[in-house]
Chain A
Amino acid sequence: MAVETEFRAGLEAAGAEPTVERRIKAVKLAVAQQVAHLNNGASVTGTGFFNHRYEPDMVINFQGGDCRTVYIRLTSDPLRLVAEYPKADDTPMVVPITDFATHHHDQPGWRDLTSLAHESGGWVADPSALDTLREGAVNQPTTQLLSSALVSGGVGVDDERSVRNLTTNVEEGFAAAGKVESHAVEATIGVLGDSLNASEFGRFARMLRAIWVGSGGDTDKFPAPDRFDRLSPDDINYLIATISTGSPEFWRTVGRGFNGSLLPALSTPSITSDAFQHVVAGALPTLTSKAVKARLDSQPSLFNTSEPFWTVEDSCLAVRGSGWSCLLAAKTLSELPATPKKVRQQTQPREYGITPEIGEARLAKAGAKLVSATYVDGVWRRTADPLLDSPSDSRTLGELNLDNDNTRITTLTVSAPEVSNLSVHYDTLVATGQTSASYPTAPLLRVAIPLLIDLSVRDTTGLRSLLAFDPPRTEDRQPTLFDD
């Protein structure tokens, strides 16, 4: 006997309404709410029709602009469902409001119904199927993803039993992808191919591939490697909009399989989600950057009380802290917003440059070795060339005799593990290497941010957790603010 659920209670209550109009309204509302629960990003609008061959009862509108029609049916008899199958030329979702019979596979019309659904790209799902998906989606992100995919692009005929088989198979497939076991992944891909349209199937397969790669699997050994590409920004947007139950580890695994340079292409809702922080964390170990640009807020920002977090500013991946942000250029300096010419002309080195004392403090925080410094002393500029020839690892700004109160450093060039010859320009607040240099992003930020900005204690603590994900540990590396 079917378990009483909100959906069933709604359908049951509909039958107790006194008039045709109220019964129809109650049934449509129950189905609409069930559908909206199953697809997190969907909104449902109703038509003036009900149980109609030509006109849908409702239309599901998905994020991104796609839609799907829903046809409610008042019978679960396969023969009647075949006769009453939607005649419109679309890919309908058909919802009989009662369960299929236990031995429905033996019923006349079952085979025809299944064929009809596949031929039309339609999905027929009885209440037991929908309730099973909804129940499973509460705690299981893969089932949540499957629910959304079926509502959006499910194909075939499903009841509780078939949905349970499908969800189990998908869970096993995802677990197998995480363990880089091709056999189970291949089986899941096969099952999903029969249950989803090409669009949803492709997204699912890319997701499996991302987890496979994120778990250390070789791309070439993923089942049918030529068929599936990497996750696209649209895929990530969809996943974040769809899955509300994903754990941090789940999102980090997704991030590991994602091309991190595409992070700025994600939608605003994705970027502002909690999942985004974990996706970036997952992508971080393989993410490289060309340069970092710091920006100081001219006015107190809404974020002033927050610990540093990942975001996107001016189409660049960025870390935002209290009153500042650091933007990353992935491949070229031109990705960074330019410092307005007017500001540069009016600002004197005395204003933007840092004192040797501050420089010393920042070098210590960054754990970087000084390579060279460019500074102004009054009206002239010189480069501390002798330093470049010094073999010493303990060179400090103090040894340069930069003890004049008026001295301001305009550029520091430093080296640290994985970050060699990084030049920090205080006029533009940009840290970059030589022309062709590109750095692993986390080490770059660990060095660049403390050199560019005077960090608060809160910022320091926050950055430690934000960037210390899998920190490299080498004997050569000096202790930094990111070490406990």
Chain B
Amino acid sequence: MPGEEPHDTGWNGVEYVSTWLQATLRVETTWKTTDHVLGDLLEFEWTHGGRTFSYDLGGKFQGSDVDGQGFAAEVKNYSGLSDLSKHYRDFLAKCYVATLRDPRRFSHYLWVSWIPLPPSSWREYRTAEKVREAVLHDDNRLRVFGSDDLETSQGLLDLTCLGTVAERIWMVTVNDREMNLVPTPEQRALMEAGRILTPLAGRF
């Protein structure tokens, strides 16, 4: 099963994001690709070619208008620009395929990185056009549409899905001080006092 392991470079980033999201008190659960029982829900098969991809992190929000909604996150803990744009393009293609395969599994796709994407086209990153560009890119056409031909692939585009994916994208840029902006243990204790408990198992 693919995924970040503790000895992998990216693992610290995934672990950090997982902890940070939970510390915000707005997340009921998170899980990783390597986790039992839930890990496989982060995995999808490309539309063509039989290969699979997976997200780094899955989870569920709690509270306000996103209450109970699932999310999948791609975490890029890079300190330099590297090939971040290429990774983002792949991320969009993955979100397109994941939405086609199971539109209800994840209502949100989080792109989490330590450095932002190039700001010159910042307004375009979360548009249907950007998703269209991504899935029609040379790197993705074959595995998304089963054809290397651009025109053929364009004819197979699901325009609704492009829009849906664009709406579901979150772009989150974090830094190592993010944990200073979560509730303190004292604040958390106050909120925990109102914790709602439901019976799970009685006396045996």
Chain A residues within CB distance 8 Å of chain B: 11, 14-15, 19-20, 23-24, 27-29, 32-33, 35-37, 40-55, 58-59, 74-75, 77, 79-80, 83-84, 87-89, 97-98, 108-109
Contact = CB atoms under 8 A, between A and B. Distances in A.
B203 A20 contact: no
B55 to A, nearest CB: 13
Nearest to B203: A43
Interface in B64-112: 70, 105
Q: Is the interface of B mostly helix, strand, loop or mixed?
A: mixed
Contacts of B185: 89
Given A15-B40, A54-B25, A84-B15, 14 more contacts: A15-B36, A20-B58, A24-B29, A29-B200, A37-B204, A42-B203, A44-B202, A47-B195, A47-B197, A48-B28, A54-B188, A74-B38, A88-B188, A89-B185
B199 A43 contact: yes
A44 B188 contact: no
Contacts of A15: 36-37, 40
Contact of B201 (A29, A47, A55, A97): A29
Contacts of B62: 48
Interface string B26-38: 0111111011111
B195 A36 contact: no
B198 A53 contact: no
Interface in B48-67: 58, 60, 62
A88 B60 CA distance: 20
B201 A80 contact: no
Contacts of A77: 6, 34
B77 to A, nearest CB: 14
B19 interface: yes
B174 interface: no
Interface string B169-194: 00000000000000001001000100
B23 interface: yes
Contacts of A75: 34-36
B117 interface: no
The 4 closest A-B pairs by CB, nearest first: A74-B35, A32-B200, A45-B197, A32-B201
Contact of A50 (B23, B25, B29, B34): B29
Contact of A20 (B38, B192, B195): B38
A27 B188 CA distance: 26
A262 to B, nearest CB: 25
A74 B200 contact: no
Contact of A98 (B29, B31, B36, B70): B36
Contacts of B25: 54
Given A15-B36, A79-B6, A97-B37, A51 B31 contact: yes
B197 A20 contact: no
Contacts of B198: 45-46
Nearest to A35: B201
A11 B37 contact: yes
A27 B201 CA distance: 12
B39 interface: yes
A397 to B, nearest CB: 56
A36 B202 CA distance: 7
B180 to A, nearest CB: 15
Contacts of B39: 74
A54 B28 CA distance: 10
Contact of B6 (A23, A29, A50, A83): A83
A52 B30 CA distance: 7
B28 A27 contact: no
Contacts of A42: 203
